[in-house]
């Protein structure tokens, strides 16, 4: 069911991208209601729309039927957050959001794999942590940029996804009392993701008993504009091998940065080799 949902979302994005004639910096769609192609809990959809409606990165929304699916299109702009992040030089990679529906599908996969807690690393506006809460997992959101954690705080009214303003490579994860967490790593391997992931993996490995229960999700890229990793896996192969991780599943989902590309973002779910 989740794989079908992911496939339908990828098709929806293709249709939307070819029909979109607006000028926004980024744009995404969320189905207006549950349907055969998108059998999403009605309460979950309400929460996803609520997050987008309350989120100041979106400045416009409208209804549109894409293919046979009635959707709400959200148009957004994250330039001021980008400007802030480059000013402070604090971020490993500038904020660029995955789609809300992709964050939701990613959370469903994580839950289906048996994880109990989502830790959104380099979380931007915290949407993956938020979606983790939507599907019923515990969530934590770690973001180094204070302008973005202020934004996250303002989005916690419907569901608290525990935003923390901190450097994820220095954060004390033992303070969260994690039992079976999955860490979503923000940023492509080639855009600072490797150092972010390496830092987090190192911290996790120092916590007794946590390593064997932890999973990681990496956002890959198939774009030719980035140097390929010699071990492949959309830029993450070397780190996966070096960290003794085993891939559980890969799922391609739409993101803001692949909107104009034919390939979506491969999300790689991995865990430590037993």
Partner 1 sequence: MTTLDGVVQMFDDECQKLQNLIGIADSKSNLTIDQIVEIYYQVMNVSSMSVMLRGQSDSEPLLRKLRETEKLIVEKFDSITHPQIMDNLSDSIRADTKKLQSGNSGKKSKEEIESDAKLFEELRQKMSTREFVEQYEKNLHHD
82 is a site residue for partner 1 (CB under 8 A):
yes
Distance (Å, rounded) from C-alpha 157 to C-alpha 14? 33
Q: Are 81 and 58 in contact (CB under 8 A)?
A: no
**Beta-carbon-side half-sphere exposure of residue 250 (alpha carbons within 13 Å):** 16
> Please, what is the minimum distance in Å from the beta carbon of residue 259 to partner 1?
14
157 is a site residue for partner 1 (CB under 8 A):
no
Looking at the Cβ atoms of 24 and 250, the one nearer to partner 1 is: 24
Q: Are 160 and 130 in contact (CB under 8 A)?
A: no
Cβ-Cβ contacts under 8 Å for 94 (sequence gap 6 or more): 81, 82, 85, 86
Distance (Å, rounded) from C-alpha 10 to C-alpha 17? 10
Looking at the Cβ atoms of 120 and 125, the one nearer to partner 1 is: 125
> Please, what is the minimum distance in Å from the beta carbon of residue 59 to partner 1?
5
Tell which one of 33, 60, 154, 166 touches partner 1 (CB under 8 A): 60
Q: Are 40 and 53 in contact (CB under 8 A)?
A: no
φ, ψ of residue 66 to 5 degrees: the values are: -115, 120
SS3 content of the chain, % helix, strand, coil (to 5): 40, 25, 40
62 is a site residue for partner 1 (CB under 8 A):
no
Looking at the Cβ atoms of 77 and 263, the one nearer to partner 1 is: 77
Beta-bridge mates of residue 163: 141
Tell which one of 33, 68, 79, 166 touches partner 1 (CB under 8 A): 79
> Please, what is the minimum distance in Å from the beta carbon of residue 258 to partner 1?
17
Spatial CA neighbour of 159 closest among 186, 190, 128: 128
24 is a site residue for partner 1 (CB under 8 A):
yes
DSSP class of residue 262? S
Tell which one of 18, 87, 177, 262 touches partner 1 (CB under 8 A): 87
Q: Are 90 and 144 in contact (CB under 8 A)?
A: yes
Tell which one of 19, 46, 65, 83 touches partner 1 (CB under 8 A): 83
With CB under 8 A as the contact rule, which of the stretches 82-90, 149-157, 176-184, 223-231 interacts with partner 1? 82-90
89 is a site residue for partner 1 (CB under 8 A):
no
154 is a site residue for partner 1 (CB under 8 A):
no
Instruction: Report 25-54 residues binding partner 1 (CB under 8 A).
Output: 25
> Please, what is the minimum distance in Å from the beta carbon of residue 123 to partner 1?
22
18 is a site residue for partner 1 (CB under 8 A):
no
259 is a site residue for partner 1 (CB under 8 A):
no
Which residues of the shown chain bind partner 1 in the complex (CB under 8 A)? 23-25, 59-60, 75, 77, 79-80, 82-83, 86-87
């Amino acid at each position: 069911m989740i794989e079908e949902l992911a496939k339908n979302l990828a098709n929806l994005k293709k249709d939307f991208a070819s029909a979109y004639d607006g000028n926004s910096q980024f744009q995404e769609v969320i189905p207006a209601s549950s349907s055969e192609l998108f059998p999403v809990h009605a309460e979950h959809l309400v929460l996803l729309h609520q997050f987008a409606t309350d989120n100041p990165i979106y400045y416009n929304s409208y209804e549109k039927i894409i293919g046979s699916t009635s959707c709400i299109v959200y148009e957004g702009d994250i330039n001021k957050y980008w400007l802030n992040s480059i000013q402070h030089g604090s971020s490993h990679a500038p904020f660029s959001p995955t789609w809300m529906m992709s964050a939701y599908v990613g959370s469903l996969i994580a839950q289906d794999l048996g994880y109990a807690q989502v830790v959104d690393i380099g979380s931007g506006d915290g949407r993956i942590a938020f979606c983790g809460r939507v599907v019923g997992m515990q969530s934590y959101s770690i973001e180094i940029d204070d302008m973005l954690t202020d934004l996250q705080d303002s989005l916690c009214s419907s569901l608290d996804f525990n935003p923390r303003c901190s450097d994820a490579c220095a954060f004390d994860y033992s303070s969260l009392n994690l039992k079976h967490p999955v860490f979503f790593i923000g940023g492509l391997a080639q855009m600072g993701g490797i150092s972010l992931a390496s830092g987090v993996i190192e911290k996790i490995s120092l916590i007794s008993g946590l390593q064997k229960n932890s999973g990681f999700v990496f956002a890959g890229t198939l774009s030719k504009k980035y140097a390929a990793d010699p071990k492949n896996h959309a830029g993450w192969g070397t780190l996966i091998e070096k960290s003794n991780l085993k891939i559980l599943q890969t799922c391609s989902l739409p993101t803001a940065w692949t909107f104009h590309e034919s390939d979506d973002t491969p999300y790689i779910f991995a865990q430590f080799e037993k």
